[in-house]
A = this chain, B = another copy of it.
Amino acid sequence: MQTELSQQLGIEHAVFGFTPFPAVAAAISRAGGLGVLGAVRYSTPDDLARDLDWMQAHTDGTPYGLDVVMPAKKVEGVTEADVEAMIPAGHRRFVAETLARYGVPELPDGEASGWRITGWMEEVARSQLDVAFDYPVKLLASALGPPPADVVRRAHDHGMLVAALAGSARHAAHHVAAGIDVVVAQGYEAGGHTGEIATMVLTPELVRAVAPLPVLAAGGIGSGEQIAAGLALGAQGVWLGSIWLTTEEAELNSPALTAKLLAAGSGDTVRSRALTGKPARQLRTAWTDAWDDPAGPGTLPMPLQGLLVAEAVSRVQRYEAEPLLGTPVGQIVGRMTSRRSVQAVFDDLTTGFERALDRLERIAGRAATGTDT
Interface residues of A in 253-281 (CB under 8 A from B): 265-267
Residue of B whose beta carbon sits closest to that of A223: B204
> Contacting A225 at CB < 8 Å: which of B212, B220, B232, B363?
B232
A266 to B357 CA separation, bound complex (whole angstroms): 28
Interface residues of A in 231-261 (CB under 8 A from B): 231-234, 236
- Tell me if B221 and A267 are in contact (CB < 8 A): no
Residues of B within 8 A of A335 (CB): 204-205
Least CB distance, A358 to chain B, in whole angstroms: 10
- Tell me if A360 and B266 are in contact (CB < 8 A): no
A212 to B356 CA separation, bound complex (whole angstroms): 17
> Contacting A200 at CB < 8 Å: which of B169, B198, B365?
B198
- Tell me if A364 and B371 are in contact (CB < 8 A): no
Least CB distance, A327 to chain B, in whole angstroms: 18
Q: A187-208 toward B: CB 8 Å interface, digit per residue (1/0)?
A: 1110000011111111011000
Known: A234-B225, A364-B357, A371-B7. A200 touches B220 (CB 8 A): yes
- Tell me if A202 and B364 are in contact (CB < 8 A): no
Q: A15-42 toward B: CB 8 Å interface, digit per residue (1/0)?
A: 0000000000000000000000000000
Copies of this chain held together in the complex: 2
- Tell me if A373 and B236 are in contact (CB < 8 A): yes
Interface residues of A in 320-370 (CB under 8 A from B): 330-332, 334-335, 353-354, 356-357, 359-361, 363-366
- Tell me if B371 and A198 are in contact (CB < 8 A): no
A232 to B226 CA separation, bound complex (whole angstroms): 7
Q: Does A219 contact B (CB under 8 A)?
A: yes
A195 to B266 CA separation, bound complex (whole angstroms): 12
Give residues in A with beta carbon < 8 Å to B: 1-4, 6-7, 14, 168-169, 187-189, 195-202, 204-205, 212, 214, 219-221, 223, 225-226, 228-234, 236, 265-267, 294, 330-332, 334-335, 353-354, 356-357, 359-361, 363-366, 371-373
What are 26 contact pairs spanning A and B, CB under 8 A? A1-B363, A2-B371, A4-B371, A168-B266, A189-B197, A189-B198, A197-B331, A198-B200, A198-B219, A198-B220, A198-B331, A200-B219, A200-B221, A201-B220, A201-B331, A205-B266, A205-B335, A212-B373, A225-B232, A225-B233, A228-B229, A229-B229, A229-B233, A233-B356, A234-B359, A236-B373
